[in-house]
């Protein structure tokens, strides 16, 4: 979706140093975009640079911390001064967060929300004035299947992603008069370093053993079948370029199934799933409700 024929589209991908962000930055560059990848440290972006070189493309790196107002302002000022425009913003930067509500300090909710939601808002606000002026552009918000389904024992992460979904849905309507497209990408389990880092299980009360066990069981099943992040990158490119856009794009292992079925789940079935004591019965019922097998045996 380019608003000026013959002008190379400019794309910004936040959190470009790993996983979906890295794959998206490289893939968009191979498709002819001038890509700026935001990273918290250029010095730690060797793998991104090596992969870009291997693909025969250049990613222009910008140090930027989405959690910080001044860092985002400085980073996007640099991008706009250099490129003069941003056609496509991919809000990918994010963190996980494991905890049940009883055991999660409010500071953790705030920290996760500041990155996963407010970080995207900072970037959106940085690019929208020039998009509105041109009446063209795309905002791609990478939420999660957990933005549709309240995944177990990940209360701060789920809360941030549900909020991000709400922001995105409202934003799509707000920007429609200006010709700016919003796309929500809802990945399930994708090969990413975030899972290796996301291994906390507070369980400070000792009352939630089953909850944390089942959460890790879900991701163990998912990682055995995890989607290559370049497949997600292809969906993002499609969302940017298609002439028949959708608001939501579920993708990756379990994403399409769980997103499609969530709105059809009876509330009693959802609560009943949580009340099941036996793990095997829980897995069986989960598969029945969502069409996803989370057993690993």
Catalytic residues: 157
Of 117, 97, 17, whose CA–CA distance to 59 is shortest?
Answer: 17
Question: Using the 8-state DSSP alphabet, how is residue 14 labeled?
Answer: S
Query: Angle CA(138)–CA(142)–CA(145) in degrees, nearest 5?
Result: 140
Query: What's the token pair of residue 205?
Result: 């009360």
Q: Give 271's contacts (C-beta < 8 A, 6+ positions apart).
A: none
Instruction: Let me know how long the chain is.
Output: 297
Q: What are the φ/ψ torsions at residue 119 (nearest 5 degrees)?
A: -60, -45
Half-sphere exposure of 199 (CA within 13 A, CB side): 4
DSSP 45-76: -HHHHHHHHHTT--EEEEE--TT-HHHHHHHH
Handedness of CA 208, 145, 125, 84 (dihedral sign): positive
**Residue 102 pairs with which residues in a beta bridge?**
none
Q: Give the residue carrying structure tokens 């509330």.
A: 267
């Amino acid at each position: 979706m380019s608003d000026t024929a013959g002008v190379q589209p400019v794309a910004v991908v936040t959190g470009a140093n790993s996983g979906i962000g890295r794959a998206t930055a490289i893939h968009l560059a191979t498709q002819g975009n001038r890509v700026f990848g935001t990273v918290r440290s250029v010095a730690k972006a060797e793998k991104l640079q090596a992969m870009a070189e291997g693909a025969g493309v250049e990613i222009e790196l910008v140090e930027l911390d989405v959690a910080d107002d001044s860092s985002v302002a400085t980073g996007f000022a640099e991008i706009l001064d250099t490129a003069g425009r941003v056609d496509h913003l991919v809000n990918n930067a994010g963190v996980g967060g494991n905890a049940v509500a009883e055991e999660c300090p409010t500071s953790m909710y705030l920290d996760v929300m500041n990155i996963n939601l407010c970080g995207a808002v900072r970037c959106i606000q940085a690019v929208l004035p020039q998009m509105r002026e041109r009446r063209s552009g795309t905002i791609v918000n990478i939420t999660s299947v957990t933005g549709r389904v309240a995944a177990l024992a990940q209360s701060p992460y789920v809360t941030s992603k549900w909020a991000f979904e709400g922001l995105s849905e409202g934003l799509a309507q707000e920007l429609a008069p200006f010709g700016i497209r919003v796309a929500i990408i809802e990945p399930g389990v994708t090969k990413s370093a975030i899972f290796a880092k996301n291994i906390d299980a507070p369980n400070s009360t000792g009352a939630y053993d089953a909850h944390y066990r089942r959460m890790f069981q879900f991701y163990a099943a998912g990682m055995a079948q995890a989607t290559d992040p370049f497949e997600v990158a292809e969906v993002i490119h499609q969302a940017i370029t298609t002439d028949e856009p959708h608001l939501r794009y579920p993708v990756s292992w379990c994403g399409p199934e769980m997103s499609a079925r969530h709105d059809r789940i009876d509330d009693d079935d959802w609560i009943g799933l949580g009340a099941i004591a036996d793990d095997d019965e829980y897995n069986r019922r989960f598969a029945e409700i969502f069409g996803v097998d989370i057993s690993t045996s």
